[in-house]
Amino acid sequence: MEPLIKTEGLYRYYGDHCAVRALGFELYPGEVLGLLGPNGAGKSSTLRMIAGNLAPSAGHIWLNGVKLQTDPIRAKRALGYLPENPPLYPELTVDEYLRYCARLHRISGAAVDEAVSVAKSRCGLDEVGRRLIGNLSKGYQQRAGIAQAIVHDPMVVVLDEPTVGLDPIQIREIRSLICNLGHERGVILSTHILPEVQATCSRVLILHRGEQAYTASLKQDTCQSGSSLLVRLARPPELAAIAAMPGIRSADQLAQGQYRLHLDETSPSASSLAEQLVMAGWGVEELVPERPGLEQIFVRITSGEQGG
């Protein structure tokens, strides 16, 4: 399966300051990628480069297999972009605005009405098509912004802080919309809200000081580096015997027969470790995988902490 977005060796300098450094990642159909990082991490610069609004200082970008720098018009046909401040015209109705956006994307006259109708339906705007955008609630304005990003039916949708300023009900509605978009195409979601990433994204990429600091699937079932296992044994051995097992970086005794096993990069799956413990004859009574939560990972990376 070919990636919808591929970046390779991306750099962006502002004078002597390097905002994005050696960034490379891929986005595939059906993925919703959460782009995280503290302020100044390079998120907005990355999104603007992918959208073609900002030229990279070095590196390459492909959108749906088309190189952005060499064929930008064809590459951008595959892209829908919602910046942090949606490009809305408050004096237009929703229908007028979306027809205008459809024509900007070179949709032919006969197909404009159908494209607008589909985008409105996907974004829950059917009832407000004739209303002025300036008179809509913040939530409906965000929906209109997303509708303009998908009116030309792009394979890639990039959303920069799409739920900023919304109330809890509006946030839930926008999250549901993002999840639905992710079933059909690739979506990049940039946000500061970690629960939003956990609720909508299938994968996360954390930037720190312009560099890729962490990436992982949010649906992984196997043990990962930096994770741990809680184990309770009926016939516990010496702590050193457990710590010497393959894939165990270190072990802590929490209580009589209860241990926390810290895993290293070579660790097998939890089921394989359980099999090893059973074969050792130690009487496994409980084995619970522990993985650091997204908030713990984010804080550890962005605060410079080390270890699991």
Tell me the percentage of the chain whose pLDDT exceeds 90.
Answer: 57
- The answer to whether position 306 is within a domain reads no
Does position 196 have pLDDT exceeding 80, yes or no? yes
Does position 171 have pLDDT exceeding 90, yes or no? no
Size (the chain), residues: 308
Residues 44 and 88 in one domain: yes
Question: Which residue in the block uniquely carries the two structure tokens 């516990």?
Answer: 236
Residues 62 and 158 in one domain: yes
Does position 205 have pLDDT exceeding 70, yes or no? yes
- Which of 170, 168, 109 is closest to 145 using CA atoms? 170
What contacts 259, CB < 8 A, 6 or more positions away? 230, 231, 232, 233, 236, 239, 242, 251, 252, 253
Residues 26 and 164 in one domain: yes
**DSSP label of 302:** H
Structure tokens at 107: 């949709």
Output the CA–CA distances (angstroms, integers) from residue 145 to 140, 142, 159, 216, in the order listed: 9, 5, 10, 29
Does position 230 have pLDDT exceeding 90, yes or no? no
CA angle 13, 18, 23 (to 5 degrees): 95
- The answer to whether position 296 is within a domain reads no
Looking at residue 112, what is its pLDDT?
97
Cβ(79)–Cβ(151) below 8 Å: no
Looking at residue 306, what is its pLDDT?
44
> Between 229 and 6, where is the model more confident?
6
Does position 198 have pLDDT exceeding 70, yes or no? yes
- The answer to whether position 52 is within a domain reads yes
Looking at residue 222, what is its pLDDT?
37
CB neighbours of residue 157 within 10 Å: 24
Cβ(210)–Cβ(20) below 8 Å: yes
- Domain containing 243 equals 228-290
CATH for 235: 3.30.70
Residues 15 and 122 in one domain: yes
Looking at residue 223, what is its pLDDT?
38
Residues 163 and 85 in one domain: yes
Residues 156 and 262 in one domain: no
Question: Which residue in the block uniquely carries the two structure tokens 């605005």?
Answer: 97
Residues 144 and 52 in one domain: yes
Considering Cα of 47, then 52, then 54, then 55, what sign does the dihedral take? positive
Looking at residue 146, what is its pLDDT?
93
- The answer to whether position 143 is within a domain reads yes
Count of domains for the chain: 2
- The answer to whether position 302 is within a domain reads no
Looking at residue 184, what is its pLDDT?
78
Query: Mean pLDDT across the chain, nearest whole number?
Result: 88
Cβ(157)–Cβ(138) below 8 Å: no
> 109-168 pLDDT, tens per residue?
889 999 999 999 989 999 999 999 999 998 899 999 999 999 999 999 999 988 877 888
Residues 142 and 275 in one domain: no
Does position 268 have pLDDT exceeding 80, yes or no? no
**DSSP label of 284:** E
Residues 110 and 144 in one domain: yes
pLDDT tier for residue 229 given thresholds of 50, 70 and 90: confident
Residues 39 and 64 in one domain: yes
CATH for 25: 3.40.50.300
Looking at residue 274, what is its pLDDT?
81
Looking at residue 298, what is its pLDDT?
83
Q: Average pLDDT in the 254-260 region? A: 88
Indicate the pTM of the whole model. Answer: 0.74
Residues 82 and 106 in one domain: yes
- The DSSP-derived string for 74-114 is HHHTTEEEE-SS----TTSBHHHHHHHHHHHTT--HHHHHH
Strand 284-290 to 17-27 pairing = unpaired
Residues 138 and 243 in one domain: no
DSSP lists the bridge partners of residue 81 as 158
Considering Cα of 273, then 275, then 281, then 283, what sign does the dihedral take? positive
Looking at residue 225, what is its pLDDT?
43
> 53-81 pLDDT, tens per residue?
999 999 999 999 999 999 999 999 999 99
DSSP lists the bridge partners of residue 13 as 18
Residue ranges in 190-269 assigned as alpha helix (H): 194-200, 239-243
